[in-house]
Structure 1
């Protein structure tokens, strides 16, 4: 933090520069993760005609929120202390259609060599007492600034659509009641979480059965086999190559 011997204006300018740069590292870490997600989405759509990721949402904590959390936890208000004690400054939520997609996305992210997985919390296999379900990852992400490499922690939450809907509803209710929710509503929320979990399991079974039917249908048209599509751009395979592979006349 700025020295007290500095002029107040100079102190403010220095602090503004430092906190801006501090938050930019986390913002760039989020950008880096979203780029990775975009690559995975396009790869799956092009190669498997299926996308396990429905949508993503990122969030960067405000300076006020960071400061309030540090005060609540009684930590020293320095940038090093903030970095060591607050792991959710940068947050990324990934919403999937099916439970199996959650673990597929998790494995793909954990397999990326430039990411360091710091922590995994599986609230799907072990839901919270209120019914909350989600898979949480803490990953250490490289960020390349003008003076070299920095590292930033990003919290990733991976959920199904049903889990995300329930969590959003629960948050709104707790916010409205200032976190003092009547017992009747607490029980209703837990019941809704159980219903959402049952729906996820049912949709997973349907998805598996449909995929089995699709895999069994090997009658792909010749025209479809002779073209590839990348980012909505269609390419026809050269006829000479098809003949070489035995796929042409």
Structure 2
């Protein structure tokens, strides 16, 4: 299309030149709108990532335990969006795309244990500017191939210079074991479009069961160790705090002053 516009602009006569310039201007406007469209999803992703990082630091410094191992954000490319709207037969306009495709912006949260998944999910859902649109629990109800994860579709406000937009963000929350399984499953079957033999399907599902069993065993160990830690808490732990990788001594008189006010 761009090549044809360039040819028109180089054609003979003022009309051809005017047509070419008009088409180029139209392309500039379309590019501007597409850029604004993609940026709104990037900003929504940034907002959600900030919320998660705040929770991560709070847990690290206040609760002495961080349930979030790591996060990963992903923004679909225009090419990927184009392929999806073609495959799903969606109208070629931004309003239809905004309504029909809800995973343009995505973030994956990898947690330590299964209980952490639901804890993080609840904390995010309870934030006033986060609206939950859809929740799919593939942990309680795994997919036929054994895949497990908690999926949330949320809407989050993005404040631009001239308007406020609510954009969809897909959140996947899973454990390290679930993420390990899903990542390798994707690599194993990447670009394989034929039906997978039944014996391989059963083996794949079995490995998911093994990963799930590992999750439950590790969480049980974690709870037992926590009981031991609580029984062995000492005065040194109570009189020290850490922020930005620096340890701070808390004067015992300060703690006692707070206790006296209760």
Aligned equivalent of 1:19? 34
- Equivalenced residues, count: 241
Q: Give me the TM-score of the superposition, normalised by structure 1.
A: 0.91
Secondary structure (helix, strand or coil) at the match of 1:114 reads coil
CA distance in 2, matches of 1:163, 1:204: 14
Q: Structure 2 unaligned segments of length 5 or more: list them.
A: 1-18
Aligned equivalent of 2:48? 33
Task: Report the aligned-residue RMSD.
Answer: 1.8
Per the alignment, do residues 72 and 176 of structure 1 end up closer, same or farther by CA in structure 2, a change over 3 Å counting?
closer
The answer (yes or no) to whether the contact 1:173–1:181 under 8 Å persists in 2 is no
The answer (yes or no) to whether the contact 1:121–1:136 under 8 Å persists in 2 is yes
Do residues 55 (structure 1) and 95 (structure 2) align?
no
User: Which has more radius of gyration?
Assistant: 2
4+ residue runs over 4 A deviation: none
Per the alignment, do residues 12 and 202 of structure 1 end up closer, same or farther by CA in structure 2, a change over 3 Å counting?
same
Aligned equivalent of 1:43? 58
Aligned equivalent of 1:230? 243
The answer (yes or no) to whether the contact 1:46–1:231 under 8 Å persists in 2 is no
Aligned equivalent of 1:103? 118
Q: Give me the TM-score of the superposition, normalised by structure 2.
A: 0.87
1:170 to 168, 185, 193: 185
CA distance in 2, matches of 1:239, 1:211: 25
CA distance in 1, matches of 2:220, 2:238: 29
By how many angstroms is 1:175 displaced?
Answer: 1.2
Q: Structure 1 unaligned segments of length 5 or more: list them.
A: none
Mapping for residues 58-207 of structure 1, pairs under 5 Å: 58-178=73-193, 180-207=195-222
Secondary structure (helix, strand or coil) at the match of 1:202 reads helix
Per the alignment, do residues 75 and 232 of structure 1 end up closer, same or farther by CA in structure 2, a change over 3 Å counting?
same
